[in-house]
């Protein structure tokens, strides 16, 4: 009876079997991934930094990218701009308030692909207690390669432009000469190396000795 229903389901919903067959799970390798930002300082130069460790999972369908999904987390407690005082300020309540909100999260809602092969990933970004829809423009994923230990890997690069005030990062100072201390627009660039998630094989059945 069960086999009969499975056959009927496959005939009525053939796409379901295809999604399962073509979609592959990849984990973000935090040791080979990064999330960088750039923001205008004093209206004259850009300050760059790293937001923190990136983790997450990509469910990718090479034949139909629209069926793909991604969920990612960035550890904001590891913000690094190579200036300890500035890093402490960014971690404070005037910016990321990392003691209360230790991470940034992104969850995709839609994936489309343009004629050049570039992916447009639309999803919800949550910083502190604010969630806003953003767009990531993605190059990749690259073709699969096998590392020295036999694991499958591929990479991808993503960019986005955000307004920090949309996420409650409101701190600023007005300059005597006009302008402000920190710009509102923030450019984000993300580099990820993806590791193929292997499904553990089931142990062979062995009859009970009892």
Q: Does pLDDT of 204 surpass 90?
A: no
Task: Give the pLDDT band (50/70/90) at residue 44.
Answer: confident
Give domain 22-196's CATH architecture.
Answer: Beta Barrel (2.40)
Q: Which residue has the higher pLDDT, 97 or 21?
A: 97
Mean pLDDT within 126-147 = 95
Q: Which residue has the higher pLDDT, 60 or 43?
A: 60
What's the predicted TM-score (pTM) here? 0.81
The pLDDT assigned to 38 comes to 96
Q: Does pLDDT of 12 surpass 70?
A: no
Mean pLDDT within 197-209 = 52
Q: Does pLDDT of 142 surpass 80?
A: yes
Q: Does pLDDT of 87 surpass 90?
A: yes
Q: Which residues contact 112 (CB under 8 A, 6 or more apart)?
A: 65, 66, 119, 120, 122
Mean pLDDT within 129-152 = 94
Task: Give the pLDDT band (50/70/90) at residue 172.
Answer: confident
Q: Mean pLDDT, the chain, as a whole number?
A: 86
Given a contact cutoff of 8 angstroms between Cβ atoms, the answer to whether 147 and 115 are in contact is no
Q: Which among 115, 164, 116, 106 has a CA at the least distance from the CA of 136?
A: 106
Specify the DSSP class assigned to residue 200: P
Q: Which residue has the higher pLDDT, 120 or 150?
A: 120
The pLDDT assigned to 178 comes to 72
The pLDDT assigned to 32 comes to 97
């Amino acid at each position: 009876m069960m086999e009969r229903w499975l056959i009927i389901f496959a005939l009525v919903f053939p796409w379901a079997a295809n999604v399962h067959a073509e979609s592959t799970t990849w984990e973000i390798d935090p040791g080979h991934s990064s999330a960088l930002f750039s923001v205008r300082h004093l209206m004259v130069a850009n300050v760059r930094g790293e937001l923190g460790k990136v983790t997450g999972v990509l469910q990718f369908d090479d034949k139909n990218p629209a069926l793909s999904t991604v969920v990612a987390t960035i550890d904001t407690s590891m913000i690094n701009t190579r200036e300890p005082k500035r890093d402490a300020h960014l971690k404070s309540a005037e910016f990321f308030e990392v003691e209360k909100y230790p991470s940034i999260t992104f969850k995709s809602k839609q994936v489309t692909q343009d004629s050049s092969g570039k992916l447009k990933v639309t999803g919800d970004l949550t910083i502190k207690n604010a969630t806003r829809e953003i767009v990531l423009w993605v190059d990749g994923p690259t073709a699969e390669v096998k590392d020295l230990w036999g694991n499958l890997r591929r990479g991808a690069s993503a960019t986005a432009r955000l307004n920090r005030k949309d996420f409650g990062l409101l701190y600023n100072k007005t300059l005597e000469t006009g302008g402000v201390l920190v710009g509102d627009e923030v450019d984000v660039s993300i580099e990820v190396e993806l590791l193929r998630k292997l499904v553990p094989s089931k142990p062979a059945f062995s009859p009970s000795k009892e």
